[in-house]
Structure 1
Amino acid sequence: MIMTTTETIAGKQITEVKGLVTSSIVQSRHIGKDLLAGLKSVVGGELKSYTEMLEDSKKAVKERLIREAEQLGANAIVGLRFELTAGQNTSELIGYGTAVTAESIKKNKPL
């Protein structure tokens, strides 16, 4: 499955728009990790437990988008976007895009 943030795909022609695909995941933060993150924020640096949580969320959202697009008969998703909302004890990642059918552009051979 091709996934791109652009509205077009290089070397491909969009032949059919199948529709909007969306997915989201809400995760709560682990209190123990919150305490360690609080200490880390005092001295600075990456909060690796949060980075891992975000990467896991992104992977889950992408897998769900692919499943939804495949159910529509699409072979690509264009205009892909992600939005992250962080609450006091939770975070939500939303992904959305347009499921399409894209085919390779046939090039004419030079004379």
Structure 2
Amino acid sequence: MQPQAPQPLQPPPVQIVPPWMISATFDLPGFRVVQNRGIVRGIVVRSRSVFGTIGASFQTLVGGNITIWSKLCEQTRMEAFEIMSLHAAEIGANAIIAMRYDATEISTGVTEVLAYGSAVIVEPIR
């Protein structure tokens, strides 16, 4: 019998609350809340790069959508959303209700984006 090489250790898959189980309302249609697990949040602090600021400055001369900053904002919100989803799954929730975003300028060019909501356990309504 040939000895087998050890299998490489794989980190466990990261569990998150799926996006379709996250709502800005206080309920999820077709489900009822059976337990509240508390507030969850995802925080990302982002600064603009010098190159991005220069590129955006050129776009402001032309007018219209400043795509460099739009992409930065969308990416930052997405990261905050994912962190919040992970936090909820870590405390045993399978849904998030009353989800919101907030943003605060910490200093010039540095902004905090916060995604937060109520982590809950829901079950289908029968």
TM-score w.r.t. structure 2 length? 0.79
Aligned to 1:39: 58
Q: Could you tell me how far 1:89 is from its partner in structure 2?
A: 1.3
Between the aligned partners of 1:85 and 1:54, the Cα distance in structure 2 is: 13
TM-score normalised by length of structure 1: 0.88
Partner residue of 1:16 out of 16, 35, 43 = 35
Alignment RMSD: 1.2
CA distance in 2, matches of 1:74, 1:6: 17
Q: Which amino acid aligns with 1:15?
A: V
Shifted more, 1-10 versus 35-44: the winner is: 35-44
Q: Which runs of 5+ in 2 are unaligned?
A: 1-17
State which of 80, 93, 97 in structure 1 corresponds to 2:117: 97
Alpha-carbon deviations, 1:32-90, whole Å to 9, x = none? 21122122223211111111111111111111111111111110000000012244212
Aligned with 1:42: secondary structure? helix
Aligned positions of 1:47-58 closer than 5 A: 47-58=66-77
Question: Which has the higher relative contact order, 1 or 2, with Cα contacts under 8 A spaced 6 or more apart?
Answer: 1
Partner Cα separation in structure 2 for residue 59 and residue 3 of structure 1: 13
Larger radius of gyration: 2
Compute the displacement of 1:92 (Å): 1.5
Greater strand percent: which structure?
Answer: 1
Give the secondary structure class of the aligned counterpart of 1:6: coil
How many aligned positions are there? 106
State the AA in 1 paired with 2:76: S
Query: Are 1:64 and 2:83 counterparts?
Result: yes
| Consecutive unaligned residues in structure 1, runs of 5 or more | 107-111
Q: Secondary structure at the match of 1:62?
A: helix
Identity of aligned residues (%): 26
- Runs of 4+ in structure 1 off by over 6 angstroms are none
